[in-house]
Chains A and B, each alone.
Chain A
């Protein structure tokens, strides 16, 4: 029969694959982030939209350009740099001058990701690297927060958004303090309901806990996120802050405030779960989450800054390979169950 005359291809088993692939996972993370982005634009207006667009474009363009000049095929098609860009944009104050956004984006994709070796090799979450860079370079602009739901947010831009590069940005709008800053410096505690629905000031995408959890649930159901990491962070932060609240309710805000304020939700659900920079075993993930949770509480209660999620995650990223070295799966037939 003629069909059997032609050459057959050979290959190593298995000859079938489950079908999920890196770009599918990454694309789904982007999808999970979209409601959060939409809400950021709803609360902070055109400025937030421009920040998100600039952040994403600068990250994607940087990776594409760096691939080209190093003679590699462009890797932007795997969608991972789009996640970096979106997440990075969501961590920024919504009225941050766009030139700063672009510089931070170049740093996130170039140094945070590409210099480490690109996808799969980034030791730290690249989005947070970009944000940490901005925090160090422009501390004032990075702690200037716009009021949520401003009346003119869809018709005019804050003057700071289009500030000229390297000029001191001028702020026109009424500035606001984040709930965490209010708590830290003025001992004013925001209402839990406002925190849950994101009606407070803060970074573009950190305010609405509900939508962040929704995106997280979607990824967990699609088996594209290890739920143990956010679960461990929430449990740790909740438990420690509850104990301190019992000790002195006036000085230490309770679990609900600690969980729903600041970048904790966004960080725990979307940043700490970066597969590359988190441990590979489930037990390791619990430990990693515990580490992040305790660092967050320590920085928030006793640190000089009101917020500590970013540094907590970056520090835990650094520890992650060591957790993997420490906690390994017990190989079949070597543990207690072995006959």
Chain B
């Protein structure tokens, strides 16, 4: 930016990558068919893996709990389809490691009716009952973090939660799932907000939406229940506004202290799709066995927003939608933060917000003829980092393996890998990749001591 004008309703720095949202934002959510085999990992969230409560060969009905949470920082798993548990085994995940998973073979002739559990009545439920119900429903952050939602609903000792922020920012290019959910599940969202307000004791809720989703903001505005203390705020479009720290900064102009949590500024931030799922599931005592994802990008033939069973493999999903001949890179999520897939037989989990496929055309732009130059101190990374880190300096330190210094005075561990610095770097230095490695090394070093 030429002038450092302090703009209202937005955080400072950040970037404006091409949005590509108009390719899918007008496409209503469609139901995805069941794959012949669904792979349900026991750990789709941060925290302890769930403990299976079914046997190999057992018949399960869709929505039935197949694994119970192991402790507080853990959630339940539900059968994504009526069928047979074929086996418990190790299956590959996005990182390339093998994780304990359940193979479920959907019953082709089944009506796939969803199994109801014990309902959680919003009229009578206490805060703790709602929190337990959310854990039993297997709810995690559907925006991509996959952190168990019920854990953050309990304010830490001595802190109170005043403001509930419903994050409908969805700043990643190509992804339009939250956009569609806001348009199509408006009522679910408001019911979800009621549950969340009950659980947290917060006095008000703010729904944050970026200006490229005005239709969603309008729809939500029109349907605000009279007795619900909700406001809708439309923020200027800027990446990575969807990050918790930045959406709070944009809305309330407060900064979460370095290393702190939203609770430190008396707020709690929940993704809008997560909120909608809470509103949709809790009245019936159901669990998350499917989610809405955007399948898009230039490499996909039938782009769209799909309600897809958890455990569907990326391969099955892309075979259903069709891919271009020259597809060359597939990643889960959007192009700024999404992880590239090396093995198409990994399952879609609760944290998967989309599948984006690029062709050789886009990836040639991204890597092929882009040579890596030395850092020329152009300061574009410094101007883009929303956390005011110095990626240029961190990059040089990473090259020299000075990890302790990076973590110390240069706040490496604050970086949430939004990719803004790598995106703008005219030298094409893979800064985020350096920082991921450096963070891993810092964790290793601190474990060793």
List residues of chain A with CB under 8 Å of any chain B CB: 1, 3-4, 8-22, 24-25, 78, 80, 117-121, 220, 223-224, 226-227, 275-276, 278, 280-282, 324, 328-335, 337-339
Complex contacts, A19 vs chain B, CB 8 Å: 365
Q: Are A9 and B329 in contact (CB under 8 A)?
A: yes
Provide the bound-state CA to CA distance between A1 and B382, in Å.
Answer: 44
25 residue pairs from A and B, CB less than 8 Å apart: A3-B324, A3-B327, A4-B318, A8-B330, A9-B363, A11-B363, A11-B366, A12-B340, A13-B339, A13-B340, A13-B422, A14-B337, A15-B362, A16-B17, A16-B362, A16-B423, A20-B426, A21-B426, A120-B373, A275-B377, A276-B377, A278-B377, A331-B258, A333-B258, A333-B387
Complex contacts, A80 vs chain B, CB 8 Å: 376
CB of B342 within 8 Å of the partner chain: yes
Complex contacts, A22 vs chain B, CB 8 Å: 373, 376, 426-427
Complex contacts, A119 vs chain B, CB 8 Å: 373-374, 376
Provide the bound-state CA to CA distance between A296 and B255, in Å.
Answer: 41
Q: Which of A11, A324, A328, A329 contacts B329 (CB 8 A)?
A: A11
Q: Which of B315, B374, B379, B428 contacts A226 (CB 8 A)?
A: B379
Q: Are B342 and A12 in contact (CB under 8 A)?
A: no
CB of B88 within 8 Å of the partner chain: no
List residues of chain B with CB under 8 Å of any chain A CB: 2, 4, 15, 17-18, 173, 245, 249, 253-260, 264-266, 315, 318-319, 322-325, 327-331, 335-342, 344, 356, 358, 362-363, 365-367, 370-371, 373-380, 382, 385-390, 392-393, 411, 414, 417, 419, 422-428, 430, 432-433, 436
Q: Are B379 and A15 in contact (CB under 8 A)?
A: no
Complex contacts, A280 vs chain B, CB 8 Å: 377, 379, 382, 390, 392-393
Provide the bound-state CA to CA distance between A166 and B375, in Å.
Answer: 39
Provide the bound-state CA to CA distance between A276 and B338, in Å.
Answer: 32
Provide the bound-state CA to CA distance between A133 and B388, in Å.
Answer: 40
Q: Are B2 and A223 in contact (CB under 8 A)?
A: yes
Q: Are A17 and B423 in contact (CB under 8 A)?
A: yes
From residue A57, how far is it (CB to closest CB) to chain B in Å? Answer: 23
Please give 15 more A-B residue pairs, beta carbons under 8 A apart, in addition to A276-B376, A333-B256: A3-B324, A3-B325, A4-B315, A13-B417, A15-B363, A16-B423, A22-B427, A25-B378, A275-B377, A278-B377, A280-B392, A329-B385, A331-B387, A332-B258, A334-B258
From residue B241, how far is it (CB to closest CB) to chain A in Å? Answer: 13
Q: A15-B338, A18-B17 are in contact. Are A78 and B373 (CB under 8 A)?
A: yes
Q: Which 5 pairs, one residue from A and one from B, show the smallest C-beta to C-beta distance? A: A120-B374, A14-B419, A339-B265, A12-B433, A333-B258
Complex contacts, B433 vs chain A, CB 8 Å: 12
Provide the bound-state CA to CA distance between A329 and B249, in Å.
Answer: 17
Complex contacts, B255 vs chain A, CB 8 Å: 332-333, 335, 337-339
From residue B141, how far is it (CB to closest CB) to chain A in Å? Answer: 18
Secondary structure class of chain B's binding surface, majority of residues: loop
Complex contacts, A324 vs chain B, CB 8 Å: 393
Q: A4-B318, A276-B377, A338-B257 are in contact. Are A329 and B390 (CB under 8 A)?
A: yes
Q: Which of B245, B330, B337, B432 contacts A332 (CB 8 A)?
A: B245
Complex contacts, B260 vs chain A, CB 8 Å: 333
Provide the bound-state CA to CA distance between A227 and B330, in Å.
Answer: 40
Q: Are A17 and B365 in contact (CB under 8 A)?
A: yes
Q: Which of A3, A10, A117, A329 contacts B389 (CB 8 A)?
A: A329
Q: Are B323 and A18 in contact (CB under 8 A)?
A: no
Provide the bound-state CA to CA distance between A152 and B299, in Å.
Answer: 65
Q: Are B331 and A15 in contact (CB under 8 A)?
A: yes
Complex contacts, B425 vs chain A, CB 8 Å: 17
Complex contacts, A328 vs chain B, CB 8 Å: 390
Provide the bound-state CA to CA distance between A121 and B337, in Å.
Answer: 31
Among B327, B378, B380, B393, the most chain A Cβ lie within 10 Å of the Cβ of B378
From residue B237, how far is it (CB to closest CB) to chain A in Å? Answer: 16
Q: Are A1 and B426 in contact (CB under 8 A)?
A: no
Provide the bound-state CA to CA distance between A50 and B414, in Å.
Answer: 54
Q: Are B323 and A3 in contact (CB under 8 A)?
A: yes
Provide the bound-state CA to CA distance between A329 and B428, in Å.
Answer: 22
Q: Which of A10, A12, A278, A329 contacts B432 (CB 8 A)?
A: A12
Q: A8-B328, A328-B390 are in contact. Are A282 and B342 (CB under 8 A)?
A: no
